[in-house]
Structure 1
Amino acid sequence: MAAISRQELELPGWPQFGDEERGALIRALDQGQWWRIGGSEVDEFEREFAAYHHAPHALAVTNGTHALELALQVMGVGPGDEVVVPAFTFISSSQAVQRLGGVAVPVDVDPDTYCLDPAAARAAVTARTKAIMPVHMAGVVCDMDELDKLAADTGAPILQDAAHAHGAEWRGRRVGELGSPAAFSFQNGKLMTAGEGGAVTFPDAGQYETAFVRHSCGRPRTDRSYLHQTSGSNFRMGEFSAAVLRVQLARLDGQIATREQRWPLLAGLLADVPGVVPQGSDARCTRNPHYMAMFRIPGITEERRNELVDALIAGGLPAFAAFRAVYRTPAFWESAAPQESAEDIARRCPVSEELTRDCVWLHHRTLLADEEQIHLVARIVAETVAAVGSGV
């Protein structure tokens, strides 16, 4: 088979932007008020984002990590409280807990969807559990039926980490209408972006108002005497970011539609590659925005997987090694660590251990390419796995 030149592969760039974003920035500039208290862009973005996700309330913040931290604080998480998190996730899921002095309790994930395993979460709940944090991995919504039952049975509420799930649906319902807070990220690689940024949707007006005060240094909206009511920090989003995000939100539906069309094609092609297993889904996840195109190569070593990723990048693909299990990082053990070793956790997280070694993902801009390009992507993966992954 002839080698593919990088010139043949023409994937869309990211972020995608145009005159609409430029116009929005000028609009924000011309206000003459560039922070949320005096301007209107953040307020309008919050209304539009909440409506899009069918949520009663949305609060825009500085980034997705702060969104998680703020939501956990509003839910009452503090020193010594336990929060169940997936072992396989980006480190912000656990660090947001630990920044509040809470103990992140990693549990295993489903081998097909890579989402939090409800049975493993149930086994990890104790009298000290203050919250359960499912991560909608790569846009696949977690089993919210079982997790909602778990929350009802144990009294430990759900906080959805929806950093990958803008526009996702579970049984036809958007993430914002599932009855629990959801935290989103607008970091540069996310499904909609202003470089950085985040948001939390809330089902409850009281939680939203508490979050607003805490995200503004504990200061109420109308305060003029610096009478700070509660502890907090400055997590306020600026007007320029919100202006860009309003346009990015308007682009989102069309991009999701394209990715939903392209993923079945790419997944089918990847499934035909010897040794490659694409991420699965759940039929109850009725809309998947596909933050990543993820696949596994079971049996490969971590070193060989990393070599494979390097080779894919050399072939022109935006490829990444998947997340390392959070307990396999030095950062996890720096503060508020659980009273067990990494090996103890690993014994109850075999799937996360495997994903740490054998999982690869391609950036979602891959799925915005046309069908011819999708075939080229699969061909590059096949040839690279055959060459680099021959030691599997």
Structure 2
Amino acid sequence: MPGPTHGGTLNDLDTVREAWGAWPIVPPNADRYVIQALHSRRWAISSIVTQDAPELFEQRFAREFAAYLEVPTVVPTDHGSSALVMALTALGLPSGSHVVVPALTWVATATAVFRAGYVPVVCDVDSRTGTMTAEALRAALTPRTRAVIVVHWACTMADMDALLAVAAEAGLPVVEDAAQAHGALWRDRAAGALGDLGCFSLQQAKVLSVGEGGAVVSRHASWRTRLEELRADSRSWRPAGEVRVGDMALAETAGIMGSNFGMNDLAAALACAQLELLDAQHDIRNGNYLRLVEECERIPGVSVPVPPEQQTRLSLYEIPIRFADAAPGEAARLAGRLRETTGLRSYLPRHPLVGSSLLNVGSVPAIADKAAEFDELHRDRNYPAAEAIAASSVVLHHSAFLATDEEMDTLVSALAALAGERRR
């Protein structure tokens, strides 16, 4: 590790960042692409085709991201949350179906299940990586389980071999929430391209950022029209030979009722520029992370997740630094001390889904029946691994690993000092 890259080099780290930990980074071609999109006057997928702008950056990004992931289908969206709703709706499950989700993830993984008309069932995670396990998935299955959302969390991928085997055994489609795993590889296959559908976020903090954006992807070309209709009010792209100047490039194919989830073209232009830089940034981050893994082996009581050997390429989003036997409330103090000594943003992991204030399902009357069922399903369930990770970890953002050797020295020294303080 890291495994094969998709190209891109950085001769000077400081040419792509302002300061250690600064994010997002403006890529070299961003100004040119965004200005080009601005002056094309084609700012949306529903814009009129002009002689000077026959193709949108949205279409270009879909094509280039598909090549990057080695899949035939990419449909850009306005948000990663929308991508999840689209993917779940595309499955066509009966109303009220159960969908298994892991306890450690952003709240949108669960709220998207409700928004699609289903009920999330939360399972515990691996105590080392924070990702769903095959055993936890099997234990969470109910007679009404109809799908699984696998989340690649923080900086490691879930065990896709084992999870896909359980899902196949139970006859369940798999949606990959790859919002934190752009460019990660499992046995040299891209995160998001291993299940039936994959979902990405291009939100401000992500490694591929446009401020707000997302994408649904699939290794199956057959999903494309259905997904396009779901994001464009039941419209899909016309074949290239049928696109005429003066008309919209969308046809009212209306195979399924959709919503307006389209990515605007200024964001798509930025996405194209960001994608050009992504692998070069991965190379720097991943090298620094692997160094930290080795250094933590020499720091008593401090550890970071070690990706499984099947993960042939890393994609860092957040790095949970775990302090063994942390007392209640100690992680908050350690996060503050790490911020003081390094200047880096350091913070606590999110609360596991069940009990999170963000998952306030009872506040929406339209899903009252599903909210009541969710509460009943989870009344006596425990999530010891997820809770232990959340209680004992301090998180660093991936931008901390776009670092020089000297900056990594500072981080390692700070962690060693914190470990020493804890022993005194």
Q: TM-score, normalising length from structure 2?
A: 0.84
**Are residues 1:175 and 2:175 paired?**
no
Partner Cα distance (2:44, 2:315) in 1: 31
Q: CA deviation at 1:167?
A: 0.7
Contact 1:134 1:159 in 2 (8 A): yes
Hey, what does 2:89 align to over in structure 1? 73
Q: 2:40 aligns with which of 26, 31, 39?
A: 31
Aligned residue among 234, 246, 265 for 1:218? 234
Q: Does 1:328 align with 2:355?
A: yes
Query: What is the DSSP-based 3-state SS (H/G/I as helix, E as strand, rest coil) of the residue aligned with 2:22?
Result: coil
CA distance in 1, matches of 2:251, 2:396: 51
Structure 1 226/172 Cα, relative in aligned 2: closer, same or farther at 3 Å? Answer: closer
Could you tell me which of 236, 240, 245 is aligned with 2:266? 240
- Number of residue pairs matched? 379
* Structure 2 unaligned blocks of 5 or more: 1-18, 48-54, 239-247, 363-369
Q: Residue 177 and residue 94 in structure 1: after superposition, are their counterparts in 2 closer, same or farther (change >3 A)?
A: closer
CA contact (8 A) 1:296 1:355 kept: yes
Are the aligned partners of 2:103 and 2:122 in contact in 1 as well (CA < 8 Å)? yes
1:294 aligns with 2:320: yes
Moved more, 100-109 or 238-247: 100-109
**Corresponding residue SS for 1:159:** strand
Tell me the residue number matched to 1:272. 298
Q: After superposition, where does 1:179-218 map in structure 2 within 5 Å? A: 179-218=195-234
Deviation, structure 1 residue 72: 0.6
CA RMSD after TM alignment: 2.2
How far has the Cα of 1:232 moved from its partner?
2.5
1:46 has 2:62 as partner: yes
Cα 1:296–1:78 shift into 2, 3 Å = farther
Q: Which residue of 1 aligns with 2:399?
A: 365
Aligned equivalents of 1:232 and 1:303: distance in 2? 45
The alpha carbon displacement at 1:137 in A equals 1.2
Stretch moving more, 232-241 or 372-381: 372-381
Query: Aligned ranges for residues 83-94 of structure 1 at < 5 Å?
Result: 83-94=99-110
Instruction: Output the CA distance in 2 between the equivalents of 1:324 and 1:271.
Output: 27
In structure 1, how many angstroms separate the alpha carbons of the residues matched to 2:335 and 2:115?
32
| Structure 1 stretch displaced more, 293-302 or 63-72 | 293-302
**SS across alignment from 1:344:** coil
CA distance in 1, matches of 2:215, 2:391: 32
Q: Residue 104 of structure 1 aligns to a residue in which SS?
A: strand
Whole-angstrom CA distance in 1 between matches of 2:335 and 2:378: 26
Q: Secondary structure at the match of 2:120?
A: strand
For the 8 Å contact 2:234–2:252, the answer to whether it is kept is: no
Match of 1:147 among 122, 146, 163: 163
Alpha-carbon offset, residue 312 of structure 1:
2.2
Residue pair 1:112, 1:281 contacting (<8 A) in 2 also: no
Instruction: Pick the aligned partner of 1:283 from 309, 316, 324.
Output: 309
Could you tell me which residue of structure 2 aligns to residue 4 of structure 1?
none
Q: Secondary structure at the match of 1:366?
A: helix
Letter in 1 for 2:376: E
Secondary structure of the residue aligned to 1:134 is strand
**What is the DSSP-based 3-state SS (H/G/I as helix, E as strand, rest coil) of the residue aligned with 1:325?**
coil
Q: Deviations over 1:54-100 (max 9, x none)?
A: 11110000111111111011112453111111111111111111222
Mean CA deviation greater in 10-19 or 206-215: 10-19
1:82-161 alignment, distance < 5 Å: 82-161=98-177
Cα deviation, 1:220-264, whole Å, max 9, x if unaligned, reads: 446899785533221100000000010101101111111221112
Partner Cα separation in structure 2 for residue 152 and residue 342 of structure 1: 25
In the alignment, which residue of structure 2 is the partner of 1:340? 376
Which amino acid in the other structure matches residue 36 of structure 1? Answer: I
CA distance in 2, matches of 1:343, 1:270: 38
Structure 1 letter corresponding to 2:336: D
Hey, which of these two has a bigger chunk of helix by percent?
1
Query: Which is further off, 236-245 or 271-280?
Result: 271-280
How far apart are residue 385 of structure 1 and its match?
A: 4.8
Instruction: Tell me which residue corresponds to 2:388.
Output: 354
| Partner Cα distance (2:358, 2:193) in 1 | 33
Pair 1:302–1:99, CA change in 2 (3 A): farther
- Mapped partners of 2:411, 2:419: distance in 1: 12
Q: Is the 8 Å Cα contact of residues 55 and 176 (structure 1) preserved in structure 2?
A: no
SS of the aligned residue for 2:131 comes to coil
| Matched residue SS, 1:327 | coil
TM-score w.r.t. length of structure 1: 0.90
User: 1:210 deviation in Å?
Assistant: 0.9
Q: Percent same amino acid at aligned positions?
A: 31
Find the residue that maps to 2:43 and give its secondary structure: coil
Asked if 2 retains the 8 angstrom alpha-carbon contact of 1:302 and 1:356, the reply is no
User: Which deviations, in whole Å up to 9, do the C-alpha atoms of 1:304-324 show, x marking residues without a partner?
Assistant: 212222232233122121121
Match of 1:11 in 2: 20
Gaps of 5+ in 1: 1-9
Displacement of 1:270:
2.9
CA distance, structure 1, for counterparts of residue 191 and residue 24 of structure 2: 23
- 165-174 vs 223-232, which moves further: 223-232
Structure 1 residues 373, 56: closer, same or farther in 2, change over 3 A? Answer: same
